[in-house]
Amino acid sequence: MTTGERLPVKRTAKLFIGGKFPRSESGRSYEVLAHGGRSLGYAAQASRKDLRDAVVAARAAQPGWAGMTAYNRGQILYRVAEMMEGRREQFRAELAEAGASDPSRGVDAAIDRWVWYAGWCDKVHQALGTANPVAGPYFNFTIPEPTGVVGLVAPQDQSLLGLVSRLAPAIVSGNTVVAIASERAPIPAVSLSEVLATSDVPGGVVNVLTGRVEELVPWLAGHMDVNAIDVTGVPQDLVEHVEQLAAENVKRVHRAPDADPFSPAAQSPYEIAALMELKTVWHPMGA
């Protein structure tokens, strides 16, 4: 190496569990390559134990997150968008290295989508809840509630926008999440984890695992303390197996409709409702 030359410091991306960045308990990692084949660094290859730890963290964080006022959740999520805006150039560079055709558009869409869902925090309960007309001396209310712990698999392409499109609607209502990042391009998801860790999002609300999708998905689908799973990013040949595993504890299984990820049709309050439960309450009238 001649004078003035230096070797770049390659990134070693870690997991994001319970607000911290641990290495995989197995010690495994895998090489992350740029679109042209250049080595970008290494990402932790999560194990079954890492996934179980992430579910434990998500379960512990869920009551506190759901117990916040909807307005406060909206403030916290908007703060995430502010910090994503501050890292815009970093995200753009990472998407370019992953082979995105228009990385700037991808970053802008991801930030805008996060803001759009953040705005639904204090509106979705009024939009989905109702007072039902009944014939009798009592009130009948339908009240939407978070499902609990949600597992999701990010789409392999659009590694930032795809993850945001699945993650944001899941946590708006008070759910907590265990997310499996894009296997091919996990770096933008890890950078988003760093944004979450340095914003006001409580530890454990979002947990991000990197690794082999085919290895992790069956364990996520079969985990008895996961209440719902978003299979949008699950390879088609695994979907039937995932649905069978999810049936063991009657998990809610959701898959987003096929749509251009940049189109308005790719964001909807029904994506929030898909991961909520509706509770009906009867209350007698009278003094």
pLDDT of 209-264, one tens digit each?
999 999 999 999 999 999 999 999 999 999 999 999 999 999 999 999 888 889 88
pTM for this entry = 0.92
- Write down the pLDDT at residue 183: 94
Residue 149 tokens, joined:
């712990």
Return the pLDDT at 121.
95
- DSSP state for residue 201 in the 8-state scheme: P
Q: Domain ranges for the chain, please list them.
A: 17-284
pLDDT at 3: 61
Report residue 82 as tokens.
């502010």
Q: What is the pLDDT of residue 204?
A: 97
Q: Supply the pLDDT for residue 12.
A: 87
Residue numbers in the chain where pLDDT is lower than 70: 1-3, 287
- CATH code that applies to domain 17-284: 3.40.605.10
Positive or negative: CA dihedral 253, 259, 261, 265: negative
Residue among 257, 162, 260, 250 at smallest CA distance from 213: 162
Question: Which of 204, 202, 247, 203 lies closest to 224 in space, CA to CA?
Answer: 247
Backbone φ and ψ for 15, nearest 5 degrees, come out as: -80, 165
Residue 157 is predicted with a pLDDT of 85
CA distance 94 to 87: 11
- What is the reported pLDDT for 283? 87
Provide the b/e sequence for 108-125 (b: ≥16 CB within 10 Å).
Answer: bbbbebbbbbbebbbebb
